[in-house]
Amino acid sequence: MRPLLHLTGESLLRCSFFFLVVVVAAVCASPSLAVPCAAVREAVCTSLPMSWVADSAGAQFPLATVMKQQGALPASPLFTTLPEKRVLRVFQLGALQTQAELVDYLRSSLFEIFDLDALQSYRYAHQEELVFVLDVILYWGSTWRWAQSVGDRMGNLVLRDERKARASGQSSVVRIVPALAPTRGRLLLHAILTVCLPYLVRKLQRKALEEDWERGSAGSLKAKMAKAVRLACTVWAAFSLLHTLHFLATAQYRTLVERLLSLRLVYGSQSMQRVTNMMYLNQHVMWQTCSSLLAVLNIGRYFSRLSRSLRAFTSPTGGSGLSDNVCCACHGHPTIGQRSNCGHLYCYYCIKSRLLDPRLAGSFRCLRCGTAVHAAMPLQ
């Protein structure tokens, strides 16, 4: 007959351990044994060596002693918060590069709005005016109000009137003082030299290119103006190069305009916190990866084929309903007419601006038939 309770060695061990735990708990819970247990615990603790407490207290120097030791260290200019007499070149050039990249991005975004067929003619006819309006808005929202561009603000830099600083004996101070801020008149001259004058030069250069001023008669006023503008741009570029070399040697006056107006960059505040947004960096990396993948796949060719198919379907002749005697871009009378390799008519500036655009890599789709345009020939 099989026994009712079958205990193995492991089962007996578990039962014994459980019984021992119950007995110990009952003894500890008994009030009569509380005093002896406390006495035993105190005796054990007092018997342990307590020398580590004294060692720990002796190892902790008072705060006053530490401050005295730090004050006794020799001062070194290598560990100051900011340089004494100049702003680092890398900060000034970095702010200038940031401002240039921001302006290029805003211009590209603005031009993308006018990439529609209905607005392309307006864009190429008034491109300089659009750029001028954008530059004025940026200047008014940054330099005119705060004496610092957007790039300077990101780099904790601000313009200061150096003439006032030298007159008050504060030229060696590299942080902004409210009394040394540039006046409105000085900022107005800065706006004229950095915003208005470049707009006028670009406008004259475009006009001279469209109407071919330099190929006119040698004694004409337009030919003289075209040569004068080209000579002035060359001289300004040469002086800018020399000034850049001087800036690299002295770290003062980042641009030639700032030197002419005695506007020097200094730090806006003594300290600046820089925070890196890791989420933005991850998104940027993902965007670059996707852009590279799309560039490898060259998906744009399928869109161009689809566009040509739709044009061929909607127009049996393949045309756009415009006259053959107007520019395919601005829809006006061709100025210095040029004919593309597909045989359609363009203005000189309209087709050359597209062929020389670095984003288009020397080729673009004809606005009339969709064929790749890579060359232009003057009308015979």
- pLDDT 10s digits, 209-258: 888 887 777 778 888 888 898 899 999 999 999 999 999 888 889 999 99
pLDDT band at 73 (very low <50, low <70, confident <90, very high): low
Alpha-carbon distance 135 to 110, whole Å? 12
pLDDT band at 359 (very low <50, low <70, confident <90, very high): confident
pLDDT band at 82 (very low <50, low <70, confident <90, very high): very low
In this structure, of 138-142, 259-263, 316-320, the range with the lowest mean pLDDT score is 316-320
Alpha-carbon distance 297 to 277, whole Å? 31
Alpha-carbon distance 368 to 342, whole Å? 9
Give the per-residue pLDDT at 258: 94
Alpha-carbon distance 182 to 165, whole Å? 11
Q: What is the pTM of this model?
A: 0.54
The two tokens of residue 137 are: 């808005």
The residue with tokens 């780099």 is 155
Quick check: helix, strand or coil at residue 276?
Answer: coil
Alpha-helical regions (H) of the chain:
9-29, 34-47, 51-59, 63-71, 89-113, 117-125, 127-141, 143-146, 150-154, 162-167, 184-191, 197-211, 221-250, 256-260, 278-297, 300-314, 348-355
Q: Does residue 200 have a pLDDT over 90?
A: yes
In this structure, of 85-99, 261-275, 333-347, the range with the lowest mean pLDDT score is 261-275
Q: Each residue of 3-25: pLDDT tens digit?
A: 444 444 455 455 555 555 555 55
Give the per-residue pLDDT at 192: 95
Give the per-residue pLDDT at 33: 44
Alpha-carbon distance 380 to 378, whole Å? 6
For residue 73, count CB atoms less than 10 angstroms from its CB and return exposed for 0-12, middle for 13-18, buried for 19 or more.
exposed
260 or 115: which carries more pLDDT confidence? 260
- Fold annotation for 325-379: Herpes Virus-1 (3.30.40)
In this structure, of 78-92, 199-213, 259-273, 281-295, the range with the lowest mean pLDDT score is 78-92
The two tokens of residue 115 are: 């990439």
For residues 179-193, average pLDDT: 93
Count of Cβ atoms closer than 10 Å to residue 279 Cβ: 7
Domain extents for the chain?
83-267, 325-379
Give the per-residue pLDDT at 56: 52
Q: Does residue 118 have a pLDDT over 70?
A: yes
Give the per-residue pLDDT at 16: 58
Give the per-residue pLDDT at 80: 45
212 or 276: which carries more pLDDT confidence? 212
Arithmetic mean of pLDDT over the chain: 75
- Please list, residue by residue across 311-321, b when 16 or more beta carbons sit within 10 angstroms of its beta carbon and e when fewer do: eeeeeeeeeee
